[in-house]
Amino acid sequence: MKSPVTQPASPTVRTRIAPSPTGDPHIGNMYVALVNWAFARQSGGQFVVRIEDTDRTRFVEGAEAMFLRSLDWLGLDHDEGPDTGGPCGPYRQSERLPLYREHVDRLIAGGHAYRCFCTPERLKAVRQKATGEMTGYDRQCRTLPPEESARRAAAGEPHTVRLAVPLEGQTQFEDGLRGAITIEHKSVDDQVLLKSDGYPTYHLGVVVDDHLMGVTHVIRAEEWIVSTPKHVLLYQAFGWDVPRYYHMPLIRNPDRSKLSKRKNPTNVMWYRQQGFLPEAVVNYLGMLGHSMPDQREVFTREEFMREFSWQRVTTTGPVFDMEKFEWLNGEWIRRLPVETLTARLKSEGFWPAGLPEDKAQAIVGLMRERMRRLTEFSDAVAFFAARLPYEAALLVPDKKGKPIMTATETRTALSRLKEAYAAFAPEPDAEASGDSLSSQWQAAALEASGRALADELGWKPGEFFTPLRVAITCRRVSTPLFETMEILGREECLARMDEAIEKAKTLA
């Protein structure tokens, strides 16, 4: 084990995210990570990742790697961590056990902590009997003579180490978002600091590590506020400076309960699999409980980093709004250059097999305007890759399920359209000009010709184009018809119309 180094000399801002590897990377954790990252970067400081893996019963293999991948996906780069190393390592608490032991010994020697030899059975009985303000441990071992305590420990008797919370008075700390918070010592339990397996509890680990890692600003979720007085007591017992605290509001479900996977997906990787862009995830998280100075809703990670201000953080829990999140994702999809979007669709596995490469950019360009998630792409453009099966009846336009063309009218519509489009020149010709342009295979000309025909035959264009849309895209709902026809090309479109005409022959 690498020997841990003492505090870094530099007094610059140092923030950290300290995930416990107990499951999937939680979106709420990414939210807190984003704020830590932004604040460190805007202050020219450092952002550290520390893995709090001391609860061995809840440890999940692979959770750490997944967390780091999520940070990476969102572009929240860290300066120090279990993967990058750094001057304050190791960055996994399970690799720092001797340190906690050493620090706890210092607390015992100074009378700030004591060994507790109570058995789990006794503790359970105490808890059941507890009344009044003190609902925790009854402090029986607090009065053991130090020599007896040391002798029993030396003899190998199992024990924990507890914080000796002052019996009187109160502890106060400043929360950067909420002001002064005061807690009566009477209401604080003699918290376990070191468990009988030699692992620290969260309270000891977090204080020792935040201090040794030089963390200047502890930015974490609101749910940790109740733990902070215990941490402050520990800082005081060690004689260390207390860091600044900021407790971020908890993200809530629409019914204001704490964001939970029963109501909303909370695994950040789920959003990736569902075709959310990292730009949109960062942007959305940056909107939760924080507003930009000009109230702008669409912003980049860097803009958020520059503009982030504690003054504009609210302490009321922001509500997670999936509708808004998807809207924002659509905004970000539209903002990506076509080449970038194409590359993303491919690298994220949303590219359907067989999509013609030479038409890729044009197809992406069409879809870019109408997607909210990347997952929509593949289904919506599948017809470009191959002719998809459909029933002849789909060719017949209807209103509320009632056909508005007869079989004969549908066949006439299709063959007249085919005839009109067969008269078009093969491909658009950049050199051409004047009259000849109108008969070139381009969306505007294709549409004009279709409309003229609808007029001649006395149909509303919307109704008239249904057989054509189905012939070309094999679906009733599709990308804009004439732009689609332009991309698909004359030969393929005529062939599809022929196929539709054949199919329509089977209509009764």
Choices 15-23, 163-171, 412-420, 478-486 (CB under 6 A): range interacting with ligand GLU = 15-23
Residue (100 or 459) nearer to ligand GLU, CB? 100
Residue (231 or 272) nearer to ligand GLU, CB? 231
Residue 248 forms beta bridges with which residues? 221
Choices 13-21, 164-172, 285-293, 339-347 (CB under 6 A): range interacting with ligand GLU = 13-21
With a CB cutoff of 8 Å and minimum separation 6, the contacts of 24 are 63, 66, 266, 267, 268, 269, 270
Q: Quote the Cα angle for 374-339-361, to 5°.
A: 80
CB of 79 to ligand GLU, least distance (A): 17
Told to check if 68 binds ligand GLU by CB under 6 A, we report no
CB of 35 to ligand GLU, least distance (A): 12
CB atoms near residue 494 (< 10 Å): 15
Told to check if 19 binds ligand GLU by CB under 6 A, we report yes
Choices 18-26, 172-180, 267-275, 489-497 (CB under 6 A): range interacting with ligand GLU = 18-26
- Enter the DSSP assignment of 441: S
Residue (52 or 307) nearer to ligand GLU, CB? 52
- Strand, helix or coil at 20? coil
Structure tokens given for 141: 């071992």
263 annotated active-site = no
Binders of ligand GLU among residues 20 to 39 (CB under 6 A) are 20
Told to check if 250 binds ligand GLU by CB under 6 A, we report no
CB of 28 to ligand GLU, least distance (A): 9
The catalytic residue among 261, 324, 346, 460 is 261
Using left for φ > 0, alpha for ψ between -120 and 50, and beta otherwise, residue 19 falls in beta
Told to check if 201 binds ligand GLU by CB under 6 A, we report no
CA dist., res. 318 & res. 249, Å (int): 7
Nearest to 169 by CA among 151, 188, 152, 150: 188
Residue 342 forms beta bridges with which residues? none
CB of 262 to ligand GLU, least distance (A): 20
Site string for ligand GLU, 151-190 (x = CB under 6 A): ----------------------------------------
Hey, what amino acid is at 248? M
CB of 354 to ligand GLU, least distance (A): 45
Told to check if 224 binds ligand GLU by CB under 6 A, we report yes
Residue (100 or 332) nearer to ligand GLU, CB? 100
Choice from 24, 52, 64, 307 touching ligand GLU (CB under 6 A): 52
Task: Identify whether the C-beta of residue 300 lies closer than 8 Å to the C-beta of residue 283.
Answer: yes
Residue 200 forms beta bridges with which residues? 194
Residue (77 or 223) nearer to ligand GLU, CB? 223
CB of 242 to ligand GLU, least distance (A): 14
Choice from 4, 13, 15, 18 touching ligand GLU (CB under 6 A): 18
Residues contacting ligand GLU: total by CB under 6 A:
7
Q: Does residue 90 have a cis peptide bond before it, meaning omega lies within 30 degrees of 0?
A: yes
Alpha helices in 301-401 (DSSP H): 301-307, 322-335, 338-347, 360-368, 375-385
Structure tokens given for 128: 């059941």
Residue (108 or 206) nearer to ligand GLU, CB? 206
- Strand, helix or coil at 374? coil
CB of 81 to ligand GLU, least distance (A): 14
Q: Which residue has the tokens 């008269």?
A: 423
With a CB cutoff of 8 Å and minimum separation 6, the contacts of 73 are 268, 272, 278
Residue (220 or 344) nearer to ligand GLU, CB? 220
Choices 17-25, 74-82, 145-153, 328-336 (CB under 6 A): range interacting with ligand GLU = 17-25
Residue 219 forms beta bridges with which residues? 246
Choice from 206, 250, 280, 380 touching ligand GLU (CB under 6 A): 206
Using left for φ > 0, alpha for ψ between -120 and 50, and beta otherwise, residue 86 falls in left
Residue nearest ligand GLU by beta-carbon distance: 220
CB-facing half-sphere around the CA of 392: CA atoms within 13 A: 15
Nearest to 95 by CA among 108, 81, 109, 105: 81
CB of 369 to ligand GLU, least distance (A): 40
Residue (215 or 355) nearer to ligand GLU, CB? 215
| Sites of contact with ligand GLU (CB under 6 A) | 18-20, 52, 206, 220, 224
Catalytic residues: 261
